[in-house]
A and B are shown apart, each in its own frame.
Chain A
Amino acid sequence: MKIIRKAGLLAVSLLALCHPATAGDGKLLATAGLTQVEGSGGGGIVPWATINGYATKEQISVSAFNTHVAVDDYQLNALGMSLSLFNRVEFSLARQSFDLPSAVIELGLGDEINQTIYGVKARLYGDLVYSTWPQISFGIQHKKLADGAIAAAIGARESDRGTDYYLAASKVHLGAAGGYNLIWNLTARATQANQMGLLGFGSQTQESHQVMLEASVGVLLSRKLAVGFEYRQKPDNLAAFKEDDWADIFISYNPNKHFNITLAWANLGNIAVADEQQGIYLSTTGYLW
C-alpha cells in the first residue's frame, strides 16, 4: 500500500504542477458519493455515475477508502485509493482480501483470497444535481487475483483475471422525497465475475459476459445524513457454488468534505458453501485532496 500511496501522491503533485487545479472541494456536501467495495465511486456495493471525491471542473481530488464486511461465515476487507480529474475521469485501485473459513483452509489452498481491482470511469454526460437528465458514466473494473488456485479448483473458466464494464446513471432530485433530497442510481454491468471475481471468472458452461442490473436509492435526511437501499444482481456461473443477488440497507454520515462513514446491513445470500450470509458492512472514505 505504501508504494501505491506514494505513486498516488506523486501523480497528484505532478498534476498540480502542470495544471492550475485546486483541491477538490467544489461539490455540495454529501454529493461526492461513497466508495463502493470494488474501489469505484458509488454506493456501497454498486458503482455509481458519480466521480469519486469533491472535485468539480477545475479541480482534482484524491481519496482513500477502507471497507470491512463481516457476514456469518466470511470477512472481506477492501482498501484503496482513487484519483479524480476535473469531475471527468476517476482512476481507482483497490485491494480486496477475503478470509476463508477453516473448512476451506484445510484443503490447503491458502487462508485468504486476494484480488486487486484497477478501475477507470469517465463521466459522459450531465451533472448529478443540476442537469435535467441524470449524470451518465461508463466504467471499467479490471480484476486480478493474486492466486487463481481456488478459482481453478472450483471450475472457473478464467482463474486469475477478468474485466467488468458498466454504464451507470445517477441523479439527485432536490426536495423530491417530501422535501428531502432523493438520490438514485441505476447501473448495467457486463461481467463474468463469480462473487466479484474472488471465485474467478465464468465457468465451463458460462463463457461470455452477462449483463447484470444494479440499483441504489437514498434519501438525504439532512445535509449530512443519508439512508438508503441497494440491490445488485449477480451471475450464477458455478455449478457447485450457488451465487445470489446482493442487497443492503445503509446509513451514511458526511460530517464535512473530508470524511464519510457508512454503515450497512448487507445480505449476500449464498457464498461458496455457506448459505444466508448476512452481516455488517462498514466503510469509510477520506477525501485527502
Chain B
Amino acid sequence: MSFIKKRFSLIMIAMTLCLSACVSQPEQSVYQQLGGQEKVTEIVQNFIYEIEFNETIFDYFKETDIQRFHDKLIEHICVHTGGPCEYTGDTMEQVHTGMQITEADFNLTVDLLINAMTKANIPHRLQNRVLAIFAPMRKQMIYI
C-alpha cells in the first residue's frame, strides 16, 4: 500500500509540476493571439448571428441598435484582451441595468460566445483565456 500511495503522490506531484510549467506567461497579448482586429470583428459578427438565432437571448436585444452593439463590443473586447483600442461605450452597469439577466441566461450567452469563437477557429485553450478575462465582469451585470 505505501508503495501505491507513493505512486499516487508521484502522479500528484507530476500533475502539479506540469500545471505550473504550463501556466507560464504567454508573451503575446490575448488580442494578438486571437489575430487582432480582423479576428475580433469576425468573432463579434458570429456572436451577433448566434444571438439572432437564439430566441431567449435575442429577446434582450429586440430594441438594440445592432450596429452600435457591434462597434462597442469590438472595442470592449479589444481593450480587455490587451489590444490598441479605446472603449467609447457605456459602463457594463449602465448598459445592463434593468435587464435582470439571470445566471442561466448569462451562461447561455457564454455558450453563444463559445460558438462564435469556435466558428472563427479560435483554439480551445485561447477561448478559455478570453472567457477568463470576461467571467469576472459577470457580477456587474446579472440581476440588475
Chain B residues with CB below 8 A from A270, complex form: 1
In the complex, A269 has a CB within 8 A of chain B: yes
Nearest B residue to A24, CB-CB:
B104
Residues of B within 8 A of A28 (CB): 107, 110-111
Size bracket of the B interface: 20 to 34
Which residue of chain B lies nearest to A221 when distances are taken between CB atoms in the complex? B124
If A28-B110, A28-B111 touch, whether A59 touches B104 (CB-CB below 8 Å) is yes
List B contacts of A222 (CB < 8 A). Answer: 124
Which residue in chain A gives the minimum CB-CB distance to B124? A222
Given contacts A179-B124, A179-B125, A182-B19, contact A129 B135 (CB under 8 A): yes
Q: Which of A22, A176, A275 meets B1, CB within 8 Å? A: A275
Chain A residues in 8 Å Cβ range of B138: 130
Q: Is A8 positioned at the interface, with any CB of B under 8 Å from its CB? A: no
**Interface flag for B95 (CB, 8 Å):** no
Q: In the complex, what residue of chain B is closest to A178 when comparing beta carbons?
A: B22
Residues of chain B lying within 8 A (CB to CB) of residue A269: 1, 4
A182 and B22 alpha carbons, distance in the complex (Å): 12
Q: Are B103 and A178 neighbours in the complex by a CB distance under 8 Å?
A: no
Closest A residue by C-beta to B22? A178
CA distance A155 to B116 in the complex (A): 61
Contact A180 B103 (CB under 8 A): no
* Interchain pairs with CB closer than 8 A, number: 91
Q: A57 near B1 (CB under 8 angstroms)?
A: no
- Is there an interface contact between B4 and A56, defined as CB atoms closer than 8 Å? no
Asked whether any CB of chain B lies closer than 8 Å to the CB of A132, the reply is yes
CB distance from B60 to the nearest CB of A (A): 15
**Which residue of A is nearest B110, CB measured?**
A28
Taking the complex as formed, is A26 at the interface, i.e. its CB lies under 8 A from any CB of chain B? yes
Do the beta carbons of A26 and B124 come within 8 Å of each other?
no
Q: Which of A216-273 contact B (CB under 8 A)?
A: 217, 219, 222-223, 229, 231, 244-245, 247, 249, 267, 269-270
The verdict on A210 contacting chain B, using a C-beta distance below 8 Å, is no
Tell whether B68 is near chain A: CB-to-CB under 8 Å. no
Contact of B11 among A25, A174, A179, A229 (CB under 8 A): A229
Structural contact, B4 and A178, CB atoms closer than 8 A = no
Chain A at the B interface: SS class: strand
* Contact yes or no, A179 B110, CB < 8 A: no
Q: Which of B34-42, B71-79, B81-89, B126-134 contacts A (4 or more CB under 8 A)?
A: B126-134
Please give, as numbers and ranges, the residues of chain B lying within 8 Å of A176 by CB-CB distance.
19, 23, 132
Residues 108-144 of B at the A interface (beta carbon under 8 Å): 108, 110-111, 114, 124-126, 128-129, 131-132, 135-136, 138-139
Contact: A174 with B102, CB < 8 Å? no
Per-residue CB contact flags for chain A residues 28-56 toward chain B (1 = under 8 Å, else 0) read: 11000000000000000000000000001
A77: interface (CB < 8 Å) = no
The complex places the Cα of A235 from the Cα of B138 at a distance, in Å, of 42
Query: Considering the chains assembled together, what is the distance between the CA atoms of A229 and B14 in angstroms?
Result: 12
A177 an interface residue at 8 Å Cβ cutoff?
A: yes
Given A174-B128, A175-B129, A229-B11; A276-B135 close (CB under 8 Å) = no
* Nearest A residue to B137, CB-CB: A130
Instruction: Determine if A180 and B102 form an interchain contact, defined as CB atoms under 8 angstroms apart.
Output: no
CB-defined A-B contacts under 8 Å, sample of 7: A25-B104, A58-B104, A59-B104, A175-B128, A177-B19, A178-B22, A223-B124
| A residues apposed to B, CB below 8 Å | 22, 25-29, 56-59, 87, 129-130, 132, 173-182, 217, 219, 222-223, 229, 231, 244-245, 247, 249, 267, 269-270, 275-276, 278
8 tightest CB-CB pairs across the interface, nearest first?
A179-B125, A178-B22, A26-B104, A175-B128, A174-B132, A56-B103, A175-B132, A175-B129
